[in-house]
Structures are given as structure tokens and as C-alpha cells.
Structure 1
Amino acid sequence: MYNKITLENIHKSFGKSEAETIVLDNISLRLESEDFISIIGSSGSGKSTLLSIIGTLEKPTKGKVYYDEKEVHKLKANSLSELRNQHIGFIFQQFHLLPTLTAMENILAPLFHQKVSYDKEARAKELLGLVGLSDKHASLPSQLSGGQQQRVAIARSLIAKPDWILADEPTGNLDSATSKNIIDLLLDIKQKTNCGIILVTHDPALSKQSDRTIELKDGQIISDMRYAQVEDAYHD
């Protein structure tokens, strides 16, 4: 199990010399799995790129990423893919459910071609119960509401028993009441599974429910506060 993720002097840019666009500028962080962490910032602040680098989906232009003491971008492609598939669960704004598969089958999809030490179907049924959709196991995505589809996506992210859940604007396509329900569900999952959760959002109200909030602007960290500090800041 990976309990911490460390970023050292992360820089991400596109283009060269005068045409270079800097997306992230000298980001250093230590992220602990005991925390529910939110990353906030306006559109273009670099938060989704930062999450992609944390999740090993993108490589930084400069800098290093460690899972515990393992420098991930020195791993060979198959070892990096194994780390990503077994230790990281991803949740996106777009649900990315396969339209011809049932809720149960969508949850099982990441394990279709993998051997695991546990009963896959029993695990999927357990997760359907965890997200409150036991009665929707045979439903297609088109038969589910937006909030229900996101719950299926959350269950899918947990199927491989990951150490970390990385959620990129998971409530972006949902109304405020459903958004609150999804965040409440993630908080409940944090307590029950003990996995680390990193949530990217543009909504400060949602970030207030996390243990730690990291704010980005123009590719740089402008604040990094624990929840009590965040609440104090909102009342200043």
C-alpha cells in the first residue's frame, strides 16, 4: 500500500523557447493518504494537469513524483501501468460508462482481463451496495440518472481496491443537491475504505468539506491549508 505521494519541483510546459506555455511552475507537495485533499482553482489554473501528473497519466517536463519512496517515472511501462491499475482509481467529470454494459458490468470492466485474488462479482455487488445502487445492478447507463451514473463510476474506481482515488471535477455535470450527495458519498468511502482521496474542483464550497485544500493560480500554489484554516479564511 502506498501511503504518501511526493512531488518535487514539478514543472509542466508545452512548446519551446518563446512559444513555451507554462502550465505548472515548481510545484512541491507531500500528500498523505489519511487526508481527504481538494485542489481548487479557476479554469486554466493547472489543477487537472496536476492531478494527471499525480496519477501518472502525464509526465512532468521537469521534477519527480514518488509513491512512498518509488520514483514512478523511472518505472518501465508495464510496471507503471500495473501501479496505475492496481493502486489508483480515477473518477472523471464525464462518467465514461460503456453504454451497452449494465451497472454491474461497468463496475467490473477494469478487471475483465485481470486476475485477482478475490471474487470479482462479489466485490462488484459489495460496491453497488456501498454506493446505494444494489437494485440497479442490471440497469444500463441510459436508465440511470446523472447522479446514479456517477455513483457507478465511483464504484468502478474502487473495484481494484486502490490506495488512492483521484477525482477530477466529479460533480461538474450534476446539480447542487446531487453534487452534495456525491461528496458525502466520497467522505463515507474515505471512512470505510481508508484510501486517500484527491478531489479537483472549481467550487470552494465543496472543497470546505475536505481535510486539506490546495489552491492553484496560474500554475502555482497560492495556498495550502488544513480545513480549520480554510474555514477561518472564509470568515475573515
Structure 2
Amino acid sequence: MVTHSAPFIVGTDLGKTFGYGHAAIHALREVNIEIHRGDFTVVVGPSGSGKSTLLNIVGGMDTATAGSLTVGDRHLTALNARELTDYRRTSVGFVFQFYNLVPNLTAVENVALAAALVMPRADATQLAGDLLDQVGLQDRKDQFPRHLSGGEMQRVAIARALAKKPGVLLCDEPSGALDSVTGAHILAQLQRTARDTQTAVVVVTHDQSLAPAADHLIVLGDGRVVEDRRHDNPPLLEEPALT
């Protein structure tokens, strides 16, 4: 964990309400968070606790109905729809439970497509190859998604998310569709990514067993933060070999 003088993500009294009156659902209530670059932050809680809602707001895919949110020098709660689109395209990497790869593009083309949003195409292709090397897919770059395993597709998704060199990497149940060995490998890669690239990596999960490995643990319940603590020198996750 690297501690910075100022957090990169700051949410103050964040609220999110769906609907009105008696039918209103309060997905988030007075949520306060501070997340630093270089931290492997884990957000846990049961279904309906507000985890995905919080992730969507930080990622600019949804907007809060109360409070304020700052990511770097951007005040997200003051951005219009066009500005939020630009934020998502250039500043945030997303890794979801399902991989959302373009089926008719190879692994390297999927990654280069994301990189081309922020750099010239030739540089994007070079970076895509380098990132796939980093996630252990040196020999799978020219394969289409249908020829890749679930773990390989998730590693392509991680490389694609990093291709924009984002300040924030948001991961929603990234190991949820994988077997236990592959899932452990993916989570270890995400932890290492936070440390190696000084990215603010935020993993949303219902799996409490990941909590001890977090630099920063946030526990949600009924839309509120019920626990928020930092760990000094958390253990490195084992990165089991994949067969």
C-alpha cells in the first residue's frame, strides 16, 4: 500500500435513491469514502447493500442523487452526460464478471481498440501486445475470444482495462464466473496491478475471504458504510499457475 497526502477518490455524503415517495429505494445513504492511488480496495457486502451502485457512480455510469464525488481533479457530480462519457472513455478501466470482448476481434485487437481511445493507433497496437505479455498471454494474442478459456478472456479484459492507463480500475465480481484456481490468479493480478502501476483498483465482491488482502476494506450494508479500515502490509495473494 502506498499512502498519499491526498486521496484520489473522495465521496462525501453520497446518496442514491431510485423512485419517489413510498416506492423510493435508497440504494446509498450518506456514504463517505476516500480511496488512494496504489491501493487494492475491496468493497464487500451482501446483495442489495449498494456495492454495484457505488461502483457505477464512481465509474460515471450512474449519478448520485445526493452528496459529492471527486475523482482526481474531476468533480463527477457536476459533470453533464457528455463529460461523463469522456470520463468513462479516457480515465476509467472496467473489469466485469462477464468479459464483454468484441467477438470478431483478436485478443490484441480488443486491447488495442481501447488503447486507441487515448493514443495513436500504432502506439496502441504496441501497448496492447506489451499488456498481453504482462498478463501471461504472449502466445494467445492472435486468438479470437471463442478460442480462449474464461480465465484467458478475463486476462484480456484486464489488459484492455489497463490500455487507457486509467487512474481508476473498477472490477465488479471479476472472478465470479471463474473456477477457484483461475479466480485466485485473476485477483492476485489485480492486487499486483494496484501496486505496480499506482492505479486505484476497486474490487466489488460478496466474497469476504478477500478482505484480509485488501489495502483498504469497505463494508456496505443497507446502503451505508458499516466498516472502513486500512491494513498495513496486507499479504500478497498467491498467483497459482494456470494449466
Is the TM-score greater than 0.5?
Answer: yes
Q: CA deviation at 1:208?
A: 2.1
For residue 239 of structure 2, what is the aligned residue in structure 1? Answer: none
Which is worse superposed, 38-47 or 183-192? 183-192
For residue 79 of structure 1, what is the aligned residue in structure 2? Answer: 83
Q: Percent identity?
A: 37
More helix by percentage: 1
Q: CA deviation at 1:85?
A: 1.7
- Structure 2 SS opposite 1:84: helix
For residue 161 of structure 2, what is the aligned residue in structure 1? Answer: 157
Runs of 4+ in 1 over 4 A off after TM superposition: 228-231
- 1:102-121 pair list within 5 angstroms: 102-112=106-116, 114=117, 116=119, 119-121=123-125
Are residue 63 (structure 1) and residue 67 (structure 2) matched? yes
Q: 2:39–2:195: 8 Å Cα contact kept in structure 1?
A: no
Q: CA deviation at 1:166?
A: 0.5
Question: Which residues of structure 2 form unaligned runs of 5+?
Answer: 1-5, 236-243
For residue 19 of structure 1, what is the aligned residue in structure 2? Answer: 23
In the superposition, the TM-score normalised over structure 1's length comes to 0.90
Are residue 146 (structure 1) and residue 161 (structure 2) matched? no
User: How many residues were matched structurally?
Assistant: 229
- 1:133-212 pair list within 5 angstroms: 133-212=137-216
Distance 1:170 1:5, change over 3 A: same
Matched to 1:29, the amino acid is I
Q: CA deviation at 1:36?
A: 0.9
Which is worse superposed, 178-187 or 220-229? 220-229
CA distance in 2, matches of 1:230, 1:190: 13
Are residue 125 (structure 1) and residue 123 (structure 2) matched? no
Q: CA deviation at 1:69?
A: 4.5
Q: 1:213–1:230: 8 Å Cα contact kept in structure 2?
A: no
> Which among 28, 32, 36 is matched to residue 32 of structure 2?
28
- Structure 1 SS opposite 2:26: strand
Superposition RMSD in Å? 2.0
Are residue 91 (structure 1) and residue 95 (structure 2) matched? yes
Matched to 1:103, the amino acid is A
Q: CA deviation at 1:183?
A: 1.0
Matched to 1:150, the amino acid is Q
For each residue in 1:37-90, what CA deviation from the matched residue of structure 2 results, as whole angstroms up to 9, or x when unmatched? 000011111101101111111001111111235312322433332222222101
Distance 1:205 1:115, change over 3 A: closer
Which is worse superposed, 150-159 or 188-197? 188-197
Q: CA deviation at 1:214?
A: 0.4
Distance 1:128 1:101, change over 3 A: same
Q: 2:13–2:32: 8 Å Cα contact kept in structure 1?
A: yes
> Which among 17, 42, 64 is matched to residue 38 of structure 1?
42
CA distance in 1, matches of 2:108, 2:163: 11
